[in-house]
Amino acid sequence: MADNFSIDALKARMEKSVNALKEELAGLRTGRASANMLDPVMVEAYGSQMPLNQLATISVPEPRLLSVQVWDQSMAGAVEKAIRESGLGLNPIAEGAIIRVPIPELNEERRRELTKVAHNYAEQGRIAVRHIRRDGLNEIKNLEKAGGMGQDESRALSDKVQQATDDAISKIDAILATKEQEIMQV
């Protein structure tokens, strides 16, 4: 019957979208330093764009300071430039192969901007989940048309897909609310 359709596979894909959102939001800075803050930074290195964590070790020696230890000292200038131009509002200080990145206090305006960015990330996550729902519903319709399942079974599976979608979107909303609270906390 509906052996060709797996609700568990669909839920796993939705869970991946939720986890991707968590990773993106981890890169958004709050008032304190986090090694994940520099995850979105891409550096022009060796003729291509590379993630910063493939060129350096990032550590948090103090609550308001990041330390970036560049493995190849000739790349220190490119790493410093990439951090400065990343749009994260950071001003790195180069000291040879070590780049110190002080984390400035967030003002109210910057907090609001960061919440908007968080909302955009969450909306992208919701869109991804809805695309997965659409794929699942199309697969169910195609199986029903091909005679692989009856209308009742099709309806029941469609309800399960909708329930999985609702669960994933409520997780996204909860993650966003937590991050928003974290950003706005002074």
- Cα–Cα dist 122/173, whole Å: 7
- Cα–Cα dist 158/142, whole Å: 12
Q: How high is the pLDDT of residue 73?
A: 85
Of residues 64 and 177, the one with the higher pLDDT is 177
pTM of the model: 0.67
Q: Which amino acid is at 174?
A: A
- Which residues, 6 or more positions from 83, have their beta carbon under 8 angstroms from its beta carbon? 38, 41, 52, 68, 90, 92, 99, 101
Q: How many other CB atoms sit within 10 Å of the CB of residue 48?
A: 8
Q: Is the pLDDT of residue 16 over 70?
A: yes
Q: How high is the pLDDT of residue 1?
A: 43
Query: What is the SS3 assignment for 78?
Result: helix
- Which residues, 6 or more positions from 55, have their beta carbon under 8 angstroms from its beta carbon? 43, 45, 70, 71, 72, 75, 79
Lowest model confidence (mean pLDDT) among 28-32, 98-102, 113-117:
28-32
* List of domains in the chain: 2-25+107-184 (1.10.132.20), 32-102 (3.30.1360.40)
Q: How high is the pLDDT of residue 31?
A: 64
